[in-house]
Structure 1
Amino acid sequence: MTLLLLAGTSEAQKLAQALATRGVRAVASLAGATRAPRDLPLPVRHGGFGGADGFATYLAAEGITAVLDATHPFAANITARTARVCAAQGVPYCLLLRPGWQAEPGDRWTFIDREEEAAAHIAPDETVFLATGRQTLSCFANLAPRKVWCRQIDPPEEPFPFEGGQFLVGRPPFSVVDETELFTQLGIDWLVVKNAGGTPSRTKLTAARDLGIPVLMLTRPSPPDAPKVSTVEAALDWVLAL
């Protein structure tokens, strides 16, 4: 067996370590969204595949016999393409999709389906913290000229794409204390996040609840109709059962 692990999440890091420890023949793939990703204990390829045709060619050329998709829950295009190509090629495929966040007592969440909907909820004089990454930043352009902070892992290479915005560079994890101090210092009135799920990154939601900050929560895209698991342990069991 030669497994392709589509990586880029904390779950993928844990899976890579488990696969390496068990001697599973595998290669990890990183799309390149982060310029300095953490090291993985597997052979790693970087960058895209060149669309569906390029991905199909890669699977055949490299003798890939199974694909485990541990990409971000909002990497909808990659996941849909991967599931579709694997089905067409008869390559076993499984999606590791961690559970989404659920509101707890005291949370003030409003769910939205598209980034452009955020402006309808936020007054022009309010300050916004975008914890949604840089890839969809331009979709929030109608927030201008509100004061907008966008946190990203890598230092920006281009100016903020709309008026009123400013980048903040930081690499997770962040503690609840860290997030509470940051939101207080910046005078944040709204937090905007994707419903990515996961325990480490929930700290910003806890901080928002403690400070009484309302949250706009982007709804997850629907996953493909394909085999899926919700934990690293279940994903590893799937691999070992092949």
Structure 2
Amino acid sequence: MDSIFIFSGTTEGRELTTQLAERGYDCTVSVATEYGCEVMGMQEGVSVRTGRLNQEQMCMNFRQKNYLCVIDATHPFAGVVSAEIKRACEQEGLPYLRFCRPTEWESEEKAKGKPALSFDTAWEAATWLKEREGKILLTTGSKDLSLIAGVIADPSRLYVRVLPVVESLQACEKAGIP
């Protein structure tokens, strides 16, 4: 049976894994959080590992089986982890495939003829937002929440959407967001 290693977020990665498993592929799926593991569920031909990996840990995981390729189906804004996955694949000589949906705001803004803004880092985005007035709906998750809240310097401007897990709620508390 051919094996594929998949880094998954909570939506596209889960759907892709199901389709590959139904077609007879042995899938090893890496998710960052317990919530990711919950939404992945139990499927025949799918093994799930939970927890964030650094590049060295990724390489160690890649050596466990003879994988055909590695698929990066993480969140569209997970740029740091995507770069690490790509470097680990290069180091181990594995094909790297990026499975990424266009974000809704990119599609909507493009359709309206408005330019969409994109930032390479959370710090760059926070710096841009700091210079703007008003409330901010933040849907980037909890990982960079303290950094963003620190740059903005007024947590009352932030409305955050995070996964319903203890780690995320603790990040909100640490950043001063109720």
TM-score (norm 2): 0.75
Does 2:11 align with 1:2? no
Q: What is the Cα-based RMSD across aligned positions, in Å? A: 2.7
Aligned to 1:131: 139
Give the Cα–Cα distance (whole angstroms) in 2 for the partners of residues 89 and 67 of structure 1: 11
The Cα of 1:7 is off from its aligned counterpart by: 0.7
2:161 match: secondary structure: strand
Aligned to 2:117: 111
Does 2:144 align with 1:144? no
Aligned to 1:93: 96
- Given that 1:65 and 1:92 are in contact with CA atoms closer than 8 Å, whether structure 2 keeps it comes out as yes
Residue correspondence of structure 1 range 216-235 to structure 2 within 5 A? none
- Given that 1:5 and 1:28 are in contact with CA atoms closer than 8 Å, whether structure 2 keeps it comes out as yes
Distance 1:140 1:57, change over 3 A: same
Give the Cα–Cα distance (whole angstroms) in 2 for the partners of residues 73 and 84 of structure 1: 18
Q: What residue identity is the alignment partner of 1:3?
A: I
Give the Cα–Cα distance (whole angstroms) in 2 for the partners of residues 79 and 145 of structure 1: 28
Aligned to 1:20: 21
Residue correspondence of structure 1 range 24-63 to structure 2 within 5 A? 24-32=25-33, 34=35, 37-40=38-41, 41=43, 42-49=46-53, 51-63=54-66
Distance 1:60 1:112, change over 3 A: closer
Give the Cα–Cα distance (whole angstroms) in 2 for the partners of residues 80 and 4 of structure 1: 16
Deviation per CA, 1:171-191, whole angstroms, max 9, x where unpaired? xxxxxxxxxxxxxxxxxxxxx
- Given that 2:33 and 2:50 are in contact with CA atoms closer than 8 Å, whether structure 1 keeps it comes out as yes
Give me the identity figure in percent: 23
- Given that 2:37 and 2:48 are in contact with CA atoms closer than 8 Å, whether structure 1 keeps it comes out as no
Work out which of the residue numbers 161, 170, 177 in structure 2 matches 1:157: 170
Number of residues paired by the alignment?
160
Greater relative CO (CA pairs within 8 A, separation 6+): 1
- Given that 1:32 and 1:47 are in contact with CA atoms closer than 8 Å, whether structure 2 keeps it comes out as yes
The Cα of 1:110 is off from its aligned counterpart by: 6.8
Structure 2: gaps (5+ residues): none
- Given that 2:20 and 2:27 are in contact with CA atoms closer than 8 Å, whether structure 1 keeps it comes out as yes
Larger radius of gyration: 1
Structure 1: gaps (5+ residues): 167-242
Distance 1:85 1:132, change over 3 A: closer
Q: What residue identity is the alignment partner of 1:56?
A: C
Distance 1:56 1:37, change over 3 A: same
Aligned to 1:121: 132
Larger relative helix fraction? 2
2:21 match: secondary structure: helix
- Given that 2:6 and 2:73 are in contact with CA atoms closer than 8 Å, whether structure 1 keeps it comes out as yes
